[in-house]
Amino acid sequence: MSDWKPKRFWAECAVVDAEGGFTVELDGRRVKTPAKAALILPTRAMAAQVAAEWDAQEKEVDPTVMPFTRSANAAIDKVRHQHAEVADLLADYGDSDLLCYRAAHPQGLQERQAEQWNPALDWAAEVLCARLLPVVGVLHQPQPDAALTSLRQRVHGLSDFQLAAFHDLVSLSGSLVLGFAAAQNWREAEKIWEISRLDELWQIEQWGHDDEAFDVAETKKAAFLHAKKFFDLSI
């Protein structure tokens, strides 16, 4: 595998108005996506974040430290061309939502799940018009059609940029309800992330800390928090 990386060739980086939104220019030349599409961003605030990432590059361009640029590229090059498919993929989480599958035992875990997960389901019922029903065990139990339809319509109504962020909010948490809860500021994003990890945190309390698992969880947490920021910047 080649270690070649593109070199920094520009002196000035700027946010400029563009048809349909905003873009970033490097010495007057507009940035494009990896698929050579125009990098048109929906808000000036998002464009400023992308521009800051490009401006922070020194001798070589390192995409691994440019999360907002990567997310914008994904929205334009991938989600835009597969919006319905991505929306359906995420909407399907509603029928097997993390929050609906409860432990049969021990009682302490059952109580904690009810304490932290029931309020999220109540919020979804009130705000999203989607009452999902908890069950005991891991065997799939179909959810009410009306609730799933409401959730699906809301997912399909997201913009390309919102959906790119929403993908990570849902897939990382394992919950369509928590994805919406983060997007709509039901709780602080860090608290919602903790709620999604309730079972894992319970296991840590019982069996102790594992360094490797902790590192993986921290990486996922950072991605979740980034997705929340990207979602907010898309509005």
Q: Quickly state the pLDDT bin for 5 (edges 50, 70, 90).
A: low
Last residue in a domain, options 44, 68, 92: 68
| Mean pLDDT of the region 186-202 | 98
Instruction: Inform me whether the pLDDT recorded for 164 exceeds 60.
Output: yes
Tell me if 27 is assigned to some domain.
Answer: yes
Domain count, the chain: 2
Nearest-angstrom CA–CA distance, 14 and 214: 38
Tell me if 30 is assigned to some domain.
Answer: yes
Query: Who contacts 94 (Cβ-Cβ below 8 Å, separation ≥6)?
Result: 130, 132, 143, 147, 148, 151, 152, 176, 177
| Mean pLDDT of the region 157-178 | 98
Instruction: Inform me whether the pLDDT recorded for 1 exceeds 80.
Output: no
Task: Indicate whether 188 and 121 sit together in one domain.
Answer: yes
Give the pLDDT confidence of 214-228 residue by residue, as tens digits: 999 999 999 999 999
Higher-pLDDT residue of 48, 6: 48
| Mean pLDDT of the region 187-210 | 95
Task: Indicate whether 148 and 53 sit together in one domain.
Answer: no
Instruction: Inform me whether the pLDDT recorded for 2 exceeds 80.
Output: no
Task: Indicate whether 127 and 64 sit together in one domain.
Answer: no
**Could you tell me what percent of the chain has a pLDDT over 70?**
98
Q: What is the pLDDT of residue 59?
A: 87
Tell me if 4 is assigned to some domain.
Answer: no
Task: Indicate whether 58 and 87 sit together in one domain.
Answer: no
Tell me if 2 is assigned to some domain.
Answer: no
pTM over 0.85: yes
Average pLDDT, the chain: 96
Task: Indicate whether 99 and 171 sit together in one domain.
Answer: yes
Q: Quickly state the pLDDT bin for 7 (edges 50, 70, 90).
A: confident
Q: Which domain holds residue 53?
A: 13-68
Instruction: Inform me whether the pLDDT recorded for 4 exceeds 80.
Output: no
Give the pLDDT confidence of 82-136 residue by residue, as tens digits: 999 999 999 999 999 999 999 999 999 999 999 999 999 999 999 999 999 999 9
Task: Supply the CATH number for residue 27's domain.
Answer: 3.30.2180.10
| Mean pLDDT of the region 210-214 | 90
Q: Quickly state the pLDDT bin for 152 (edges 50, 70, 90).
A: very high
DSSP-assigned states of every residue in 92-159 = GGGGG-GGGEE-SS-HHHHHHHHHHHHHHHHHHHHHSS-----EESSS--PPPHHHHHHHHHHHHTS-
Nearest to 31 by CA among 10, 56, 45: 10
Task: Indicate whether 54 and 158 sit together in one domain.
Answer: no
Task: Indicate whether 60 and 132 sit together in one domain.
Answer: no
Tell me if 8 is assigned to some domain.
Answer: no
